[in-house]
Amino acid sequence: MSRPNAHPLAHPVLLAATALFAFPLVWMVLSSLKPASQLTENPYAFWPHRWEWANYPQALSAMPYARYLRNSLVLCIGSVAGSLFSCSVAAYGFSRLRWRGRDVVFGMVIATMLLPWHVTMIPRFLLLREVGLYNSLAALIVPTFLGDAFFIFLLRQFFLTIPDDISEAARLDGLGEWGIFTRIILPLSKPALATVALFQFIASWNDFNGPLLYLSDPQKFPLAYGLEQFVSSYSDQTHLLLAAAVLFTLPMVVLFLLAQRTFLKGIATTGIKG
C-alpha cells in the first residue's frame, strides 16, 4: 500500500507525543526504585540517587502477596476456561447451525452489549448471594461459564469465515455436530480463541468491581482488590505503592509485548466489524 509520505515534522511530533504518553510509566518505574527519603526531599530528580531494589521485597512482604497472586490466578484461569467453553459453543450455535429464530436471538446477544451494568447489578448480586456464592471467587467465575456477548460475537465472526464444505464433508464422514465442533472448528479457530483467552485473562486480572461487590474475606482477595487495600493503608509510603503498582502492571505489559499481534488484531476487529 502506498501510504502518504511522512511530513518532515512527523518524527519530532511523534517523539514528543511518545514522550508524553510514556513519561508517566517511566517515571513510575524509576521512582519505584528510589529511596523513600529521595521521594520526599527531592521529588523531581529524574534518576534515583541510589537504586533501592529493596523497595520491591518490602512492598511484597507488606501484604499477603502470594495469597493475592494465587487468588488472581485461580480467578483468571477459571474465567478463561469459562469464557472459552461457553462462548465457543454459543458462537457455534449462532454460526454453523441453522435453526428457527437464530438471527433474532443473536440480535439479543448484541443488544446485551449495550446494556449498562447498573441495571442488572443489584438483582444479579442478590441472586448470586442467594445461591451461596457470596464471598467466594466462584461468584466471579461462574458467570463466565454462562457466556459473554462480545466474545460470542468475536468467535462467531471467525467461525463464519470457515467454509461450510468442511463441515459438510465431515458430516458425510459420519461425524456428529459435537465432533465437528471439537475436532474441526475449534482447531481451525486458534487465533480467535487466543484473543478471547487473552482478553478474558486481562479482564479478570484487572477486575475491581467484582471483588469489591462479592468478596469480604481478605483471604480471598485477588491482586487488583488486595492492592487497593494496600494503597489505603500505606498511602504515605509512595515508594512502596509505586513498587506494588509496577509489580501489578508488569505481567500485563509482558503479556502485551509477547502477544502483541493477537492483542492488536483482537482490538482492531472490535471496532471495524461494528
- Site map 184..223 versus another protein, x via CB under 8 A: ---------------------xx-xx--xx----------
The CB-of-14 to another protein minimum distance in angstroms stands at: 5
Task: Say if residues 135 and 74 touch (Cβ distance below 8 Å).
Answer: no
163 binds another protein (CB under 8 A): no
Q: How far apart are CA 183 and CA 167, in angstroms?
A: 11
Radius of gyration of the chain (CA): 23
Contacting another protein within 94-133 (CB under 8 A): 94, 97-100, 102, 105, 108-109, 112, 114-124, 126-127
Q: What is the DSSP-derived secondary structure letter of residue 162? A: S
Tell the burial category of 63 from Cβ atoms under 10 Å away from its Cβ (0-12, 13-18, 19+): buried
Closest to another protein by CB, 5 vs 61, is 5
Select from 143, 84, 147 the least CA-distant residue to 112: 147
Exactly one of 59, 80, 90, 197 binds another protein (CB under 8 A); that residue is 90
Q: How far apart are CA 84 and CA 93, in angstroms?
A: 14
Segment contacting another protein by CB under 8 A, of 3-11, 50-58, 62-70, 161-169: 3-11
Query: Total number of residues binding another protein (CB under 8 A)?
Result: 92
Task: Say if residues 194 and 259 touch (Cβ distance below 8 Å).
Answer: yes
Exactly one of 25, 45, 110, 160 binds another protein (CB under 8 A); that residue is 25
Exactly one of 12, 57, 85, 233 binds another protein (CB under 8 A); that residue is 85
Segment contacting another protein by CB under 8 A, of 54-62, 73-81, 186-194, 265-273: 265-273
Task: Say if residues 75 and 68 touch (Cβ distance below 8 Å).
Answer: no
The CB-of-194 to another protein minimum distance in angstroms stands at: 17
Q: How far apart are CA 265 and CA 158, in angstroms?
A: 12
Q: How far apart are CA 192 and CA 200, in angstroms?
A: 12
Segment contacting another protein by CB under 8 A, of 51-59, 159-167, 189-197, 238-246: 238-246
The CB-of-43 to another protein minimum distance in angstroms stands at: 4
Contacting another protein within 36-55 (CB under 8 A): 40, 43-44
Quick one: cell of 42? 527531592
